[in-house]
A = this chain, B = another copy of it.
Amino acid sequence: MAQPLKLYFIRHGIAEERQPHLPDQQRALTPKGRQKTQKVAQRLQILGINFEYLQTSPLVRARQTAEILQHQGLVKAIHVSDLLSPEGNWQDWLKWLQDWRTQGLTHLALVGHEPHLSTWAEILVWGQPCQQLVLKKAGMIGLLLPEHHNPIGQSTLFWLTAPKLLL
């Protein structure tokens, strides 16, 4: 039996535009993206949010977002995982989650990309993806997963916010 889990999905901040000689995975946060993400992190700290485990996509813009959250003291360590890259898939991540939950931890954050994050949130809450959640860059989703091992269609949504509605 797992504990109820607070699961936060955080989208990376505003990143450099795509360019011919810049691989997508190397695109970094822009100065504005870094600044806004920093403000979001400060606000989360003021709100008393913290994570026991943070998993991030390996792409530079996601890792930089995760590092900003870490430097603000929201989490001790960050864990880079290919499961959260744009090529990662829901089934593999779900398997990871089920193993991870056996530890009994209760506050997990993911830093990654759209449309993955909002799609996964919809599957957890409504059992299927509908693409009706608007997750802005540096925005977040908060879900509560129930105490048992199958959270699909059984989780509740308690938070969805864009940075501009948080700052």
Residues on A close to B: CB < 8 A?
47, 125-126, 130, 132-134, 142, 144, 155-162, 164-166
Tell me the bound Cα distance from A158 to B135 in angstroms: 7
Tell me the bound Cα distance from A126 to B161 in angstroms: 18
Q: Which residues of B are found within 8 Å of A132, using beta-carbon distances?
A: 125-126, 155-157
Tell me the bound Cα distance from A35 to B121 in angstroms: 33
Q: Which residues of B are found within 8 Å of A134, using beta-carbon distances?
A: 144, 156-158
Q: Interface on chain A toward B: helix, strand, loop, or mixed SS?
A: mixed
Give the shortest distance, in Å, between A66 (CB) and chain B (any CB): 21
Per a CB cutoff under 8 Å, which of B144, B155, B159, B164 touches A161?
A: B159
Tell me the bound Cα distance from A158 to B157 in angstroms: 12
Tell me the bound Cα distance from A155 to B166 in angstroms: 22
Q: Which residues of B are found within 8 Å of A162, using beta-carbon distances?
A: 158-159
The reply to whether B160 and A158 form a contact with Cβ atoms under 8 Å apart is yes
Q: Which residues of B are found within 8 Å of A159, using beta-carbon distances?
A: 160-162, 165
Q: Which residues of B are found within 8 Å of A161, using beta-carbon distances?
A: 159-161, 165
